[in-house]
Structure 1
Amino acid sequence: MSDVPERWSQANVYPDMWADPDQDPRNNDGASPDGELATLQDYLRDYRLTLQMKCEGLDPEQLARRSVPPSNMSLLGLLRHLAEVERDWRNWIRPGNPAPKLYGARDGDFDGAVAEQAIVDSAFADLAREQAATDTALATHPDLGERVGKDSIAVRALWVHRIEEYARHCGHADLLRECIDGRVGQ
C-alpha cells in the first residue's frame, strides 16, 4: 500500500484534463476579447476560476493540508494569501495609509490556514471581498498606461502582476490537489 493517491480526472473526452471542455467554466466558445484591458480581465477571470476549481469538493482538513513538506503552503493558505495580496495591490493604488494586513504578521496567511470550517468560510469570503474591492479600484483607472500610487506604478503592471500571481499559485494548486486526492490539473 502507498500513501500516494492514484491519479484521476473527471474528464472523459481527455482523461488528462481536469474537466471535459464542455464542462469547463473557463472555456468560452466565442472570439477572444478585443483590446488589451479586456484580454487582461479575461485571463485573470480564468485563473481565479482555476483556483476555485482546485478547491472544490474538499473538506477543511484537505484544504488545510500541507502537501509538500516542509512548506507551509496549502490550498487554504493560497486562498488566504491571494486575499492578502489583492488588498496589498489596492494599497499600491491608494494614497495615504495602507489598509492593515488581513492575517497579521508575515506568513500569517499560510500559518493560520487551519482545518476549521469557519476558517475555510472566512477565507473564501475574504478572497471574494478583496477581489471585488481591487476590481472596483482598478475600474477607476481604465488607462493601462496611467501611473498610480506613491510609487507611480503603471496600471498595466498591476494587471500583469495580478495575472502572474494567480498563474503561479494555480501551478502550486495543481500539485497540492494532486497530492491530496490524485486529481490532475489541466
Structure 2
Amino acid sequence: MRRMSDEPTRWTTATVYPDMWADPDDDPRNNNGGPASEGELATLQDGLRDFRLTLLMKCEGLDAEQLARRSVPPSTMSLLGLVRHLAEVERDWRNWISDAEPLPKLYGARDADFDGAVAEQGVVDAAFADLEREQAALDAELAEFPDLGARVGKDEIAIRELLVHRIDEYARHCGHADLLRECVDGRVGQ
C-alpha cells in the first residue's frame, strides 16, 4: 500500500508547453495543419476520436499493476477499470439503438467492470480488445444512420444525442484518467 508521502514526482514529456501531455507535433489528436472538420457529424466524430485517443494515451507505458492500481482509496476506480467500464458502456449504447433483446453485460454484475480490473496481463489485454471491439461495433451500427436527427431504439433516442452523450462520457472519464495517471507515476498534462 502506498502512503501519501510516497507521492510520485510530477513530470511530462512535453517540451513546448509544460502543461501538455505531449508536444504538438507528437500528439496524435492534433490535426497537424490539416483542414478542420466539415459539418456536424464530422465534428462530433473528431471530438469522440480525440477523447478515445486521450484515454489510450493516459494508459500507455504502464504495466498491469499500474493500470489496475486504485489510486484514490476507497474508490475502486483505476485506469484499467475505466477501459473496462467504457467497453461496457459502448456495448450498452448499442442496446439503446436496437429494438432487439439487449446484449448481455461484458463483465457481469454492477461495478464488475471496476471490481474485476485486476493486475493480470490477460485481463489488461482482454479489456483493451473489448474496448476496441465494442467501439467498432457501435461505430458501424451508427454509420447506418447518417441523419443525426433520426430517432432509434425503444426510447427513440436521437443519433445526435447519443453521439453527444458518448463524448460526454469519454470526456468525464478522461478527467478521471488525468488524476489516476498522475497518482500512478506522476505524469501530467492535458
TM-score by length of 2: 0.96
- Identify which of 86, 90, 103 aligns with 2:90: 86
Unaligned runs of 5+ in 1: none
Q: Name the SS for the 1:2 alignment partner.
A: helix
Q: Name the SS for the 1:166 alignment partner.
A: helix
**CA shift digits 1:41-72 (9 cap, x unpaired):** 00000000000000000000000000011110
Give me the identity figure in percent: 79
Q: Which residue of 2 aligns with 1:13?
A: 16
Runs of 4+ with >6 A deviation:
none
Q: Which residue of 1 aligns with 2:27?
A: 24
Q: Which residue of 1 aligns with 2:51?
A: 47
Amino acid corresponding to residue 22 of structure 2 in structure 1: A
**CA shift digits 1:65-123 (9 cap, x unpaired):** 00011110000000000000000000001112000000000000000000000000000
Q: Which residue of 1 aligns with 2:149?
A: 145
Q: Name the SS for the 1:82 alignment partner.
A: helix
1:3 matches 2:39: no
Q: Name the SS for the 1:43 alignment partner.
A: helix
Q: CA deviation at 1:31?
A: 2.6
Q: CA deviation at 1:9?
A: 0.1
How many pairs align? 186
Unaligned runs of 5+ in 2: none
